[in-house]
Structure 1
């Protein structure tokens, strides 16, 4: 079974700006938050575990 990721744009990204981030939530046997550059959809992607993503958000909220 192939599960296609459903990408959504960050609420902090604009349609006009050069800096756009897209995220997708993978619910496969290895759940993860996936991140990519919306201007380069075939480029590099990052994957974060739930715990790592939560820690990243906590860190950015404090700084």
Structure 2
């Protein structure tokens, strides 16, 4: 899937200054991640179950 076809979003904790953020896009098969400061750089994707495990780990669950 092309990154231009994805619906990218940033965390509600992101400021409006455009600094140090990532954007994510979610599809049925994967979660895509990219650098919001330079969207021309390649994004990467992980399976949804792997992303859920990462979020649980980051949240301290």
Same-fold call, TM > 0.5? yes
1:19 and 2:20 aligned: yes
CA displacement at 1:55 relative to structure 2? 0.4
CA distance in structure 2 between the partners assigned to 1:37 and 1:12 by the alignment: 15
Question: Contact 2:18/2:36 (CA < 8 Å) preserved in 1?
Answer: no
CA distance in structure 1 between the partners assigned to 2:25 and 2:50 by the alignment: 15
Corresponding pairs, count: 59
Alignment TM-score, normalising by the size of structure 2: 0.79
Alignment TM-score, normalising by the size of structure 1: 0.77
Unaligned runs of 5+ in 2: none
> Which one has the largest radius of gyration?
1
Unaligned runs of 5+ in 1: none
Give the superposed CA RMSD. Answer: 2.2
Runs of 4+ in 1 over 6 A off after TM superposition: none
